[in-house]
Amino acid sequence: MPPSRTRRSPDSGAGRTGRAGLIQECVETLNEIFREVDVFSKRSLRMHGVSGPQLWAMRTIRRAGSVSMGQLAARMHLHVSTVTGIIDRLQEAGLVTRTRSSEDRRILHVAITEKGRKVVARAPEPPRSVIARGLEKIGRRDLASIRRSLAQLSRMMGVAGVSSGDRG
């Protein structure tokens, strides 16, 4: 988060009471998350020529060395079709390469190019990547609770279920 903005502490709404205060805290927190993802992606496009999800994919590929499309989708917790679109744009920009597996021609391996490595070296970690890494570290009970809450929000918004969490 840019230093010009201050992040509220989780207890900053402690003086607010009742249901209205809780609702306000939830809405403010969601707004902060949405704003951070949006601002990061716009800044990333402007400064590095890639979106937040594209940067996340390149960082994931760089860590793996070379990865199949299915493995990349699994590591990013996204659907393969979503990752395919991301990789199509990165390949067109010369930031990644795709090659067919010599053992199984159905499998495509993705690797980052030198040009892609330079972009990743200059750019910070995208918020979606930070969230995914954080979720990987929490306990199953807390993760299930977050999932239920997100599913409830998704239903409120009329968005397809959490299982299709490959949007964006």
Q: Tell me, what's the pLDDT at 46?
A: 93
Examine residue 58 and state whether it is found in any structural domain, yes or no: yes
Q: How many domains does the chain have?
A: 1
DSSP 8: P
pLDDT tens, position by position, for the chain (168 residues)?
444 444 454 545 455 678 999 999 999 999 999 999 999 989 999 999 999 999 999 999 999 988 999 999 999 999 999 999 999 999 999 999 999 888 888 888 999 999 999 999 999 999 989 999 999 999 999 999 999 999 999 999 888 654 544 333
Q: Are 71 and 111 in contact (CB under 8 A)?
A: no
Angle at 33 between CA 150 and CA 133, to 5 degrees: 75
Residue 167 lies in a domain: no
Distance from C-alpha of 46 to C-alpha of 138, rounded to nearest angstrom? 33
145 belongs to a structural domain? yes
Pairwise CA distance, residues 122 & 62, whole Å: 13
Query: What's the CA gap between 62 and 112, in Å, rounded?
Result: 6
| pLDDT at position 1 | 44
Q: Does residue 162 belong to any structural domain of this protein?
A: no
Close Cβ partners of 32 (under 8 Å, ≥ 6 residues apart) = 7, 8
Residues with Cβ within 8 Å of residue 25, at least 6 apart in sequence: 13, 16
Q: 91: which 2 tokens?
A: 């390949």
> What's the pTM?
0.74
Residue 2 is assigned to a structural domain of this protein:
no
Which domain does 46 fall in, by range?
A: 19-157
CATH of the domain at 76: 1.10.10.10
Q: Which token pair is 64?
A: 């793996």
For residues 123 and 136, what is the distance between their CA atoms, to the nearest angstrom? 22
End-to-end Cα spacing for the chain: 20
Question: CB neighbours (10 Å) of residue 151?
Answer: 15
Place of tokens 């010599």: 102
Give 92-139 pLDDT, tens digit per residue: 999 999 998 888 888 889 999 999 999 999 999 999 899 999 999 999
**Structural domain includes residue 166:** no
Cα–Cα dist 70/79, whole Å: 9
